[in-house]
A = this chain, B = another copy of it.
Amino acid sequence: MDFSGLFAALTTPFDAGGSFSPADFRHNLHRYNQTDLAGYVVLGSTGESVLLSFKETDLILATAKDAAAAQKKLLAGTGAESTAETIARTKRAAELGYHAALVKTPYYYKPVYKPEVYLTHYRAVADASPIPVLLYSVPQFTGVSLETPEIVALAEHPNILGMKDSSGVVQRIVEVVASARPSFQMLTGSASVVEPALSAGAVGAVLALASAFPEKCVALFQLHRQKMYEQARELQCKLALASKKVVSESGIAGVKFVMDLRGYRGGVPRMPLLPLTEGAKAAIAKVAANLEPAAAAKANP
């Protein structure tokens, strides 16, 4: 299965009462369906998965499956702290027709999570999963990181097909590409280093920023594919600055706000995440206008 290309990490829209809003979610997906995004990650970190109830996550998975265009790859975030719970969620995603499971590292008991723990956990999940498994390492949130030796060892498993690395550490991509079986697919989760990561051998990216700027993100991937490196580098620079301001500094509230600016259904995140201050909104609006002048104007007539 091919996971190359540019994936959007979907946000979860809430209605005025704070409940998941299927209508808003469908609205966003219908627009994304018209882009050249390779697919969607549902219930990733950007989707506020850790703030959702079990009931909500099931509805979100089902809604996304229903609303997504047939040719889009669907990746479900199914990583829980417990191995058994991770397997249960992965099976449910398979049942609903997802193409693969994106399995975040367990991370709470980090002082005892030695590499052996990750090897055992991921092998158990991959053995039990009816669909391919992608590793997912996101140290800025979890405080733990999958390192090259574990990744290379896990790449031997026939049902572990790749990895999303959100660390932004390009060195790890180089090392894994140099050491793992050639068909193992690396995706970066960092909008700041998509072009360097592709240069290093990554096959694609999963980006929160693509929920607001799918065309720009896809363009970066395509420029690289078409070997238009100078243009790719220029667009990468712009996306890096936008990502820093929107995603790194403001998190999900920033992503959702810039979605609102661009006519998607963003809204506000769930507490304890706080809505943006007016100052942060103004700074983000400026960044958005720089990145996509026409679109921003259209969204803010």
Residues of A within 8 A of B (CB): 18, 45, 50-54, 81-85, 106, 108-113, 116-118, 120-121, 124, 140-143, 168-171, 174-175, 177-179, 190, 192-193, 195-197, 199-201, 227, 229, 233, 236-238, 240-241, 244, 248, 250-253, 270-274
Q: Is the CB of A274 within 8 A of B174?
A: no
Interface centre among A175, A196, A197 (most CB of B within 10 A): A196
Complex Cα spacing A178 to B233, Å: 9
Q: Is the CB of A175 within 8 A of B244?
A: yes
What secondary structure prevails in chain A residues at the interface with B?
A: helix
Q: Is the CB of A193 within 8 A of B174?
A: yes
Q: Is the CB of B200 within 8 A of A174?
A: no
14 new A-B contacts at CB < 8 Å, known A50-B81, A117-B274, A174-B240:
A18-B84, A45-B108, A53-B85, A82-B271, A84-B270, A112-B252, A120-B274, A168-B169, A168-B171, A171-B193, A174-B196, A175-B241, A177-B233, A177-B237
Which chain B residues lie closer than 8 Å to A111 at the CB level? 140-141, 248, 251
Q: Which 9 A-B residue pairings sit nearest by Cβ, starting from the closest?
A: A178-B237, A196-B196, A143-B143, A112-B251, A83-B271, A199-B199, A121-B272, A171-B192, A51-B82
